[in-house]
């Protein structure tokens, strides 16, 4: 019997207690279809420079660490990375994700936490196992199991690195890649066998994502990322070797494979060679149309196997909502990227601090080298602030991924009541889809489809909706262009209120106002627009603010009770 034949037989009974493939669906141990809704822990075991505001400073994590070591010394550099691994992912993160609605976690693994680099092995061809990676994985699995969430292991940085996109695999381009080193491939196979041996009996392991985003020119040097490669022979060969190793110790778990070209080129990688297998594809900056999914849907039908959208994100809330609606409409599970980093387009934002900012400026050539003590203080604060209880929560992102997918209504960003709350910050406009909570001229970034990159929030701060928000010395302001508006939902006892919109002094535009669907005309005052007798409904009120005659920038809305409607107080 051939290897492929052996692997294609006999798996049905052994996989029934685990997440597994059943035709075109992923199902649980009872055979019930499971739609994975997950989040990747990018930035934990593997730091990409952009996640720390270090694009242009470092190419990969190795360079980040070298920069840190140059600034604070080897001992303190090691202390920072130990603190980073300790604080970045804790049980609170998994508890939070479960509460928000996620049912799975994708763990991007860096091989160097589990085994030595090829060149560091004391005996060539032998594998040294390091306890730290397995310890971290064990803890994460316990937290996931406690929340009945599946943990999907993803080899994000393989020995040698699997692509020409250096940051995503922490690849050192001066050394042989995974595809140029037989020893690196041997170590990769051995690592997967060791992982499978350890976790073979764990039903909350959802699957093994064998190799993240290969992007390699196997047959044409000009095709740097392998998007046009029609053979992909080394990929399939390595996948089959990994499968053989895993199945020698674990016949339970789902195997997940990604194509070349960042997980999108499957030419000659298929047909499948294992019965319990799923295809993963990644999706960034596309139009959210059914046509954009046709290639992966065709593979699902052709090979009668499940597909999983294993990585997406880095876009606006409007794009997030549309993408999830599209995927779930085709019964495709998903994993977003990432849970946290610097930046507002994820559920949690890691805040910077003055000492770390000084270090960033030094690395960018804009400031002198900081003292080691202050640089180290900034790094350690950054590590502590990666904790869930220190990071900034973005409810708008979670709302877009879950509620808005099924509910097209606007909901208040926070609960405000006239009489109790006199000021609504401009940035607290409603959460919801475009057309319900706000209107935008730049709903998201679709550059893969259009060839044009777009900033949906020009200030890149506070929240991830497609409205420009600019940071001030003491707060934030919303910037609206003609055709855009934002809505504020608040409650009142009825009566009337004095309305005060605080605008930027450079604003030449006039605000457009609609209260509960009725247009109103505010009066200009010094840096404000005023209505002295705004009639309010008892209960829920909805105020929309737009602009005419130019760009409107405003920071707050004041609502001060004045008495009964039509009877303003002096």
Is there a domain that residue 390 lies in?
no
Instruction: Judge if 424 and 299 occupy the same domain.
Output: no
**481 within 8 A of 441, measured Cβ to Cβ:** yes
- Identify the pLDDT of residue 564: 57
pLDDT for 71 beyond 70: yes
- Are 117 and 205 members of one domain? yes
**Separation CA 488–CA 558 (nearest Å):** 12
Q: Answer yes or no: is 524 within a domain.
A: yes
Q: Which residue has the tokens 């049912």?
A: 103
Mean of pLDDT values over 11-22: 68
Each residue's pLDDT tens digit, 527-543: 899 999 899 999 999 99
Query: Given the structure tokens 């992909």, which residue do they identify?
Result: 232
284 in the same domain as 427: no
- Tokens describing residue 411: 């909901």
> Which of 293, 308, 333 is where one domain is finished?
333
d(CA 131, CA 129): 7
- Identify the CA nearest to 498 among candidates 477, 520, 476, 518: 520
CB 503 within 8 A of CB 524: no
Helices (H), 330-437: 354-363, 372-384, 395-401, 403-406
**What is the secondary structure of 455-512 as a DSSP string?**
-SSTT--S--SSSEEEEETTEEEEEE-TT-EEEEEEEEESSEEEEEEEE-TT--SEEE
pLDDT, position 1: 36
Task: Tell me if residue 194 falls in helix, strand or coil.
Answer: helix
- Report whether the peptide linkage leading into residue 271 is cis, meaning its omega lies within 30 degrees of zero: yes
pLDDT at residue 12 in the model = 39
Positive or negative, the CA dihedral 133, 137, 138, 143 is positive
pLDDT given for residue 569 in this prediction: 34
- The values of phi and psi at residue 137, to 5°, are -65, -40
Give domain status of residue 388, yes or no. no
Among residues 163, 128, 164, 277, the alpha carbon closest in space to that of 210 is found at 277
Using alpha carbons only, what angle is made at residue 543 by residues 538 and 547, rounded to the nearest 5 degrees?
160
544 plus 414 within the same structural domain: yes
Question: At 158, which CATH number?
Answer: 3.20.20.80
| Number of residues written out for the chain | 570
- 239 shares a domain with 109: yes
Q: Is 376 inside a domain boundary? A: no
User: What's 212's DSSP letter?
Assistant: S
Q: Examine residue 173 and state whether it is found in any structural domain, yes or no.
A: yes
State the Cα–Cα distance between residues 535 and 211, nearest whole angstrom. Answer: 61
Q: Which is nearest to 286 in space by CA: 256, 258, 343, 326?
A: 326
- For residue 527, what pLDDT is reported? 84
Domain that holds residue 519: 408-561
pLDDT in tens, 356-368: 999 999 999 999 9
Half-sphere exposure of 41 (CA within 13 A, CB side): 32
Radius of gyration of the chain (CA): 26
From 306, 333, 360, give the residue that closes a domain.
Answer: 333
Task: Report which DSSP code applies to 129.
Answer: B
What are 334's two structure tokens?
Answer: 């998903």
Same domain? 418 vs 318: no
* Total tally of structural domains belonging to the chain: 2
Do 299 and 447 fall into the same domain? no
DSSP string, 407-466: --S-B-SS--BTTT--EEEGGGPPBS-BTTTEE-S-----HHHHS----SSTT--S--SS
Tell me 286's DSSP state: -
Give the global pTM: 0.95
What is the rounded distance in angstroms from the CA atom of residue 140 to the CA atom of residue 161? 24
pLDDT at site 565? 54
Same domain, 191 and 306: yes
Co-location of 212 and 100 in the same domain: yes
- 366 within domain boundaries: no
- Rounded Cα distance between 243 and 537, Å, is 65
Q: What is the mean pLDDT of residues 483-502?
A: 97
Quote the pLDDT of residue 396: 99
Report angle CA 401, 407, 408 to the nearest 5 degrees.
Answer: 100
Confidence of residue 563 (pLDDT cuts 50, 70, 90): confident
Sequence-ordered list of residues with C-beta below 8 angstroms from that of 114, at least 6 positions apart, any chain: 129, 130, 132, 133, 134, 191, 194, 195
HSE-CB for 505 with a 13 A CA cutoff: 1
Mean pLDDT of 509-522: 96
Give me the pLDDT at residue 525, please.
84
Q: How many helices (H) and strands (E) does the chain have?
A: 17, 25
One domain, residues 327 and 427:
no
Q: Is residue 113 part of a domain?
A: yes
In DSSP terms, which residues pair with 258 in a beta bridge? 280
Supply the pLDDT for residue 406.
98
- The domain spanning residue 539 has which CATH number? 2.60.120.260
**Tens digit of each residue's pLDDT (9 = 90 or more) over 128-153:** 999 999 999 999 999 999 999 999 99
Q: What percent of the chain has pLDDT over 90?
A: 92
Question: Per-residue pLDDT tens for 440-470?
Answer: 999 999 999 999 999 999 999 999 999 999 9
**Tens of pLDDT, residues 77-92:** 999 999 999 999 999 9
Q: Which of 301, 316, 333 is the last residue in one of the domains?
A: 333
Name the H helices within 170-232.
Answer: 182-199
Within-domain flag for 567: no
Cα–Cα nearest to 157, from 146, 141, 168, 144: 168
Tell me how crowded residue 49 is: count the other CB atoms within 10 A of its CB. 19
Confidence label for 10 from pLDDT (cuts 50, 70 and 90): very low
In the numeric block, the tokens 């060149």 are attached to 119
Which residue spans within 193-327 are E strands per DSSP?
205-209, 255-258, 277-283, 307-313
Q: What is the mean pLDDT of the chain?
A: 95
CB 403 within 8 A of CB 412: no
pLDDT, one tens digit per residue, over 411-428 is 999 999 999 988 999 999
| Whether 165 and 38 share a structural domain | yes
Partner residues linked to 411 by β-bridges:
431
Residue with tokens 């980040």: 64
Domain identity same for 130 and 255: yes
What is the CA angle 48-321-442, rounded to 5? 80
């Amino acid at each position: 019997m051939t290897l492929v034949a052996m692997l294609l037989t006999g798996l049905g009974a052994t996989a029934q207690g685990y997440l597994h493939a059943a035709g075109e669906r992923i199902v649980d141990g009872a055979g019930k279809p499971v739609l994975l809704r997950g989040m990747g822990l990018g930035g934990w075991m593997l730091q990409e420079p952009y996640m720390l505001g270090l694009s242009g400073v470092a190419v990969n994590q190795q360079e980040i660490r070298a920069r840190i070591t140059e600034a604070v010394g080897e001992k303190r550099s090691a202390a920072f990375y130990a603190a980073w691994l300790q604080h970045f992912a804790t049980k609170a993160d998994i508890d939070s994700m479960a509460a928000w609605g996620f049912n799975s976690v994708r763990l991007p693994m860096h091989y160097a936490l589990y085994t030595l680099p090829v060149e560091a092995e004391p005996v060539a061809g032998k594998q040294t196992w390091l306890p730290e990676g397995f310890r971290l994985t064990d803890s994460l699995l316990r937290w996931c199991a406690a929340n009945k969430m599946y943990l999907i292991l993803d080899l994000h940085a393989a020995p040698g690195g699997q692509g020409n996109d250096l940051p995503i695999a922490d690849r050192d381009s001066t050394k042989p890649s995974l595809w140029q080193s037989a020893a690196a491939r041997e170590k990769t196979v051995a690592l997967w066998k060791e992982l499978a041996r350890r976790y073979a009996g764990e039903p909350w392991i959802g699957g093994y994502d064998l190799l993240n985003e290969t992007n390699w020119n196997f047959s044409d040097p000009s095709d740097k990322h392998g998007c046009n490669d029609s053979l992909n022979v080394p990929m399939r060969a390595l996948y089959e070797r990994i499968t053989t190793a895993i199945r020698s110790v674990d016949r339970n778990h789902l195997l997940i494979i990604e194509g070349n070209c960042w997980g999108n080129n499957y030419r000659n990688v298929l047909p499948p060679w294992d019965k319990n297998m799923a295809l993963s594809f990644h999706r960034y900056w596309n139009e959210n149309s059914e046509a954009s999914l046709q290639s992966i849907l065709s593979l699902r039908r052709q090979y009668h196997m499940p597909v999983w959208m294993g990585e997406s994100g880095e876009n606006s809330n409007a794009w997030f909502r549309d993408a999830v609606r599209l995927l779930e409409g085709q019964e495709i599970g998903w994993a977003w990227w990432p849970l946290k980093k610097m930046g507002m387009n994820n559920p949690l934002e890691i805040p910077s601090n003055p000492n770390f900012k000084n270090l960033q400026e030094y690395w960018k050539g804009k400031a002198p080298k900081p003292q080691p003590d202050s640089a180290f203080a900034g790094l350690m604060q950054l590590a502590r602030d990666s904790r869930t209880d220190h990071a900034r929560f973005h409810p708008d992102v979670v709302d877009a991924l879950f509620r808005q997918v099924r509910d097209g209504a606007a909901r208040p960003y926070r609960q405000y009541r006239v009489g109790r709350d006199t000021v609504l910050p401009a940035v607290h406009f409603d959460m919801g889809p475009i057309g319900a909570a706000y209107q935008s001229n730049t709903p998201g970034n679709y550059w893969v489809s259009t060839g044009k990159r777009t900033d949906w929030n020009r200030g890149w701060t506070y929240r991830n909706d497609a409205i420009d928000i600019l940071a001030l010395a003491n707060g934030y302001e919303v910037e609206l262009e003609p055709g855009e508006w934002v809505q504020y939902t608040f409650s009142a006892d009825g009566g009337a209120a004095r309305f005060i919109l605080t605008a930027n002094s450079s604003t030449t535009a006039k605000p457009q106002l609609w209260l509960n669907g009725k247009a109103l005309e505010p009066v200009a005052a010094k840096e404000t627009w005023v209505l002295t007798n705004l009639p309010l409904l008892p209960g829920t009120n909805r105020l929309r603010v737009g602009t005419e005659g130019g760009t409107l920038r405003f920071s707050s809305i004041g609502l001060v009770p004045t008495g009964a409607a039509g009877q303003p107080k002096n």
